[in-house]
Structure 1
Amino acid sequence: MRQTQSLHRAVQQYPDRVATVFNGRRQTFRQLHERVARLAGALQALGMRAGDRVGMLALNSDRTLEFYLAVWWGGGVVNPVNTRWSAAEIAFSLQDCETAILFVDDAFVPMVPELRAQAPCLQTLLYVGEQPVPAGFLGAEQALAAAAPVPDALRSGDDLAGVFYTGGTTGRPKGVMLSQEALATNALLSLVASPLDRDAVLLHSAPLFHLAGLSALMRSLVMGTKNVFLPGFTPGGVLRAVAEERVTNLMLIPVMLQFLLDDPAARTADLSSVRVVGYGASPISEALLERAFGLLPQADFVQGYGMTELAAGVTYLTAEYHSAAGRKLGKLGSAGRALNGVDLRIVDADGRELPRGQVGEIAVRSPCAMSGYWNLPETTAQALRDGWMHTGDAARMDEDGFVFVVDRFKDMVVSGGENVYCGEVEAALTRHPAVAAAAVIGVPHAQWGEAVHAVLVLRPGTTATAEDIQAHCKTLIAGYKCPRSVEFMAALPISGAGKVMKYKLREPHWKERQRGVA
């Protein structure tokens, strides 16, 4: 199985159907096919060989889809860069997997000098913005126009498709390796659970470097639907795009849904075309869902649970359980059931399956699972054991096979749909000269689900304010990872084994809640 096959099929069966819409620019599948084949030729002319990594640091656009398809068409491996990361984090991800070619748009041109200084692997910068080509860049449009189309390299099966970087537990991002088969299979299995109509119009406002956004894009390519791109999410942008393009399918993380519901313009906007709302990437409250049902009474709602290491969703809570009758079945608080083709079980510390109703770790066996972490064999061996991916999420399964996520074994905060690994933030905090010890936890936040909270012990004779700490962190890690609140203590609670007892730090913040994570 391969990702580019859907484009071949589209050109054969419906070449003149509109494939992409962005900022007034439209192209058909025939035009997309031509641009992808030429861009692949340009990449090969620039030195890309089979298996070479190519990155993209840009906001969403039709060029994002072209990037993915052209790299695969030419035989390369994608490294989609997290646009919310700091320059240091981005540079690490580029250097770690030796990304030599990088696509950059207008929003990130100013960051390039710092990236070049920290990532000497960078050899070629391809500009995909709307302004004159900056100095030091090669214009992607000029390179494409000068190139001849090349045959599809037909990368498939176990061939590496992408290295997708996630936050690291030790302060180092991890590159998740996903094969062509993993990505293609996930798209097909997801379509079985939640079919996509051929006349659907998908709106992409969630970032496409994330697997949640990319998965929706790949499902649309399989079905040959129209894709409307926004550079990023804003309530006004979504409302306008829905009305102007008659969008039928929305993919939103819960915080986006809340912003949309809180916008007064949503109450009078024309949302009658919306047929499906997919949500996921972080937990959602039933109160927020009820508001969404009221705003979009004609729409089906679908939830997915998954992770980068599983090529996106592996369980779905389908539309019937969101209906008025379905909600009475008591499944709305679950993450749904495993997809066809996915084996999922709840296991104890030794990997043994637990009886229904008992809490353990979610383990998954699936062709969608990662091949491993880039250059991290020991970390890979810890996660992939006996053919099962151990997720680090604690859950129980009821008698009907519905999975209820209750906690996380990983030391991690999920804030606004983004995973923040506490070890990564703690590593940044302890680089401050006044910080002797640091512990990071998640605390409840009405808008983001959880917020990053730092508990610090200062070195004797030093002082620091919360503002000092936050400013320091922003020089090292992405803004969304930086503590939103800071607490100072004389000492951290330490167990007999010498470990910080984070449950004691969480207790004051979560004591009125039913569970210790959002």
Structure 2
Amino acid sequence: MQFTQGLERAVQHHPEMTATICGSRSQTFTELYKRTTRLAGCLASKELIKGARIAVLALNSDHYLEVYLATAWAGAVIVPANFRWSPAEIAYSLNDAGCQALIVDQQHAALVPILREQCPGLKHVFLMGGTEDADGLLGLDALIEGSVPLPHSGAGGNDLLGIFYTGGTTGRPKGVMLSHANLCSSGLSMLAEGVFNEGGVGLHVAPMFHLADMLMTTCLVLRGCTHVMLPAFSPDAVLDHVARYRVTDTLVVPAMLQAITDHPSISDFDTSSLCNILYGASPASETLLRRTMAAFPGVRLTQGYGMTESAAFICALPWHQHVVADGGPNRLRAAGRSTFDVHVRIVDSNDCEVPRGEIGEIIVKGPNVMQGYYNMPDATAETLRGGWLHTGDMAWMDEEGYVFIVDRAKDMIISGGENIYSAEVENAVASHPAVAANAVIGIPHEHMGEAVHVAVVLRPGCTLELDALQSHCRTLIAGYKVPRSMEIMPSLPLSGAGKILKTQLREPFWKGRDSAVS
């Protein structure tokens, strides 16, 4: 399987269909194919061929997709950079991966002098959309125009497609090595779940450097759908693009889903074209899902549970399980069931499978599982021990194979000897009508070890006191799980991928202590 296989298929099946839309630009699949093969030729002319590392630092755009496709076509290795990282963190990833080239957009061109200084291995820096060379940047459009199309390198299967860096909030970021087969197996499994159908129009909302959007990119490429690019997220822009370009499918993280669903002018936008909303990358509360289903009554919701190390896909909760029938099981809190080519087990600390209904760690095996962490053999061996990917996610499985995640292992709170899973508390807090978003953490407690603390974002015009929230939560969860303290925040700190940064929330409470939750 080759990442670019879907592009060739699309050119055979519908060459004049629109492939990409980005602002005022659009192109057909024939035009995308020509630009991809010429860009691959440009890379080859700079000796950026099979195995060469090429970093990309940019907002979402049609050019970003071209870089993905051309790099894979040439057999090189893509290294997407998180544009929300500091220059030092970006430089670390480029140096660690051994990047020989960097492709930037205009919005990030100002960082090039710093990165050149900190990354001595960089031989070439290209400017997306550049029509001429300037300030030491090679104008990519001009190079594409003057390049000869490159025959396909033949890269595919177990050949390395990309190194995707994860983490960076604490410790050393890990470079996850994913092959063509890893990404394509996840993409095919997602397509088999019934999303991104023939003739679909997909909207890129999540950042393209992140594996959540990379999974969507893979699906759209394999299916031969139209890509609509949104450079940066805002709920207004999402709703406008859905209406303007008749978007059928999109993928968002829960923080984005909340902002879209709660937009005060949502009814002013025509979202009738929308068929599927995929969500994942972090937990979504049942309350948020119910609000979303009410806001988009004709749209199918699908949850994708996964992680970078699994090429972003492990389990799926399909649209038909987002309906709770009277007397039927409530699946809204489930992460779904293992997708088609993935094995999932729930195990104890000795990797022995636990009985259904008992909490353990999720471990995974399948063609989607990473090759390892680049330059980190010990971490690779620990994470892939016994041939299974150890996710660090704590969960239980019901009798029908549905997986219910209760927490990240590192986020579990131990208070007075009791294990408290933050996801359960967050669901209880989220059901309060004044709460728009929340995050639960453990903070130091002299006698209990840790106490439950919640950071809350309120819905517009609402107020909330701790005792009222505690009374609400006691009707839903055990007393020892109820938050002991609360802080009201204007927003929760988010990573570039839209995940809540609990490390940042914990820091003021644990700073300077001998022991802390990492």
Per the TM alignment, residue 262 of structure 1 is displaced from its structure 2 partner at its CA by: 2.7
Whole-angstrom CA distance in 2 between matches of 1:479 and 1:347? 26
Q: What is the deviation of 1:446?
A: 3.7
Q: How does 1:231-242 map to 2 (within 5 A)?
A: 231-242=231-242
Q: For residue 398 of structure 2, what is the aligned residue in structure 1?
A: 398
2:507 and 2:180 map into 1 onto residues whose CA distance is: 43
Which of 477, 487, 490 pairs up with 2:508? 487
Q: Deviations over 1:311-354 (max 9, x none)?
A: 01110000001125399421110100000110000011111111
Shift of 1:184: 0.8
The residue that corresponds to 1:22 in the other structure is 22
2:340 aligns with 340
Amino acid at match of 1:388: W
Q: Percentage identity across aligned positions? A: 43
TM-score, normalised via structure 2 length: 0.81
Aligned to 1:459: none
Residues 146-170 of structure 1: CA deviation (Å, up to 9, x unaligned):
1100101121111111000011586
Deviation at 1:83, TM superposition (A): 1.2
Report the alpha carbon displacement of residue 129 of structure 1 after superposing the two structures with TM.
4.5
- TM score, norm. by length of structure 1: 0.81
1:130-145 mapped onto 2 (5 Å cutoff): 134-145=134-145
Q: Partner of 2:159 in structure 1?
A: 159
Deviations, residues 255-277 of structure 1 (Å, cap 9, x unaligned): 11111123222122111111111
Residue number in structure 2 paired with 1:177: 177
Worse overlay, 112-121 or 297-306: 112-121
Q: Contact 1:84–1:479 at 8 Å: present in 2 too?
A: no
Tell me if structure 2 keeps the 8 A contact 1:85–1:479: no
| CA–CA separation in structure 2 for the residues paired with 1:447 and 1:82 | 26
Q: Which moved more, 1:34-43 or 1:263-272?
A: 263-272
CA displacement at 1:249 relative to structure 2: 1.0
> What's the offset of the Cα at 1:21?
0.4
Given that 2:280 and 2:303 are in contact with CA atoms closer than 8 Å, whether structure 1 keeps it comes out as: yes
Secondary structure of 1:390 counterpart? strand
Secondary structure in 2 aligned to 1:3?
A: coil
Instruction: Work out whether residues 303 and 336 of structure 2, in 8 Å CA contact, stay in contact via their aligned partners in 1.
Output: yes
Q: Which runs of 5+ in 1 are unaligned?
A: 416-421, 423-439, 449-473, 495-499, 504-518
Asked if residue 148 in structure 1 is aligned to residue 169 in structure 2, the reply is no
2:130–2:140 Cα contact (<8 Å) kept: no
Q: How many residues align?
A: 448
Q: Deviations over 1:252-306 (max 9, x none)?
A: 1111111112322212211111111111111111111111111100001000110
Task: Verify the 8 A CA contact 1:320 1:326 in the aligned structure 2.
Answer: no
- Structure 1 distance, partners of 2:99, 2:150, is 22
* Partner residue in 2 for 1:33: 33
**Mapped partners of 1:325, 1:107: distance in 2:** 49
Verify the 8 A CA contact 1:106 1:128 in the aligned structure 2. Answer: yes
Alignment of 1:99-498 (within 5 A): 99-129=99-129, 134-167=134-167, 171-325=171-325, 328-410=328-410, 444-446=454-456, 483=504, 487=508, 492=513
Deviates more, 1:265-274 or 1:317-326: 317-326
Deviation at 1:113, TM superposition (A): 1.4
Indicate if the aligned counterparts of 1:169 and 1:411 stay in contact, CA closer than 8 A: no
Residues 62-119 of structure 1, C-alpha deviations (whole Å, 9 max, x = no match)? 0111001100111101001111111010000000011011110111111111111211
3-state SS, counterpart of residue 508 of structure 2: strand
Q: What are the within-5 Å matches in structure 2 for residues 44-83 of structure 1? A: 44-83=44-83
Aligned to 2:415: none
Give the Cα–Cα distance (whole angstroms) in 1 for the partners of residues 116 and 451 of structure 2: 34
Q: How far apart are residue 444 of structure 1 and its match?
A: 3.6
Q: Distance in 2 between matches of 1:326 and 1:216?
A: 34
Unaligned runs of 5+ in 2: 413-421, 427-440, 442-449, 459-494
2-structure distance, mates of 1:441, 1:110: 45
Residue 192 of structure 2 aligns with an amino acid whose one-letter code is: V
Q: Cα deviations across residues 458-480 of structure 1 (Å, max 9, x unaligned)? A: xxxxxxxxxxxxxxxx9xxx996
Q: Provide the C-alpha distance between the structure 2 equivalents of 1:77 and 1:327, rounded to a whole number of angstroms.
A: 51
- C-alpha contact 1:164 1:175 (8 A) present in aligned 2: yes
Q: Is the 8 A contact 2:4 2:221 kept in 1?
A: no
CA separation of 1:447 and 1:19: change in aligned 2, threshold 3 A:
farther
Report which stretch shifted further, 130-139 or 333-342. 130-139
Contact 2:196/2:202 (8 A) holds in 1: no
Preserved CA contact (<8 Å) 1:42 1:143:
yes
363-372 or 325-334, larger mean C-alpha shift: 325-334
Q: Against the structure 1 CA distance between its residues 90 and 192, is the aligned structure 2 distance closer, same or farther, given a 3 Å change threshold?
A: same
SS at match of 1:126: strand
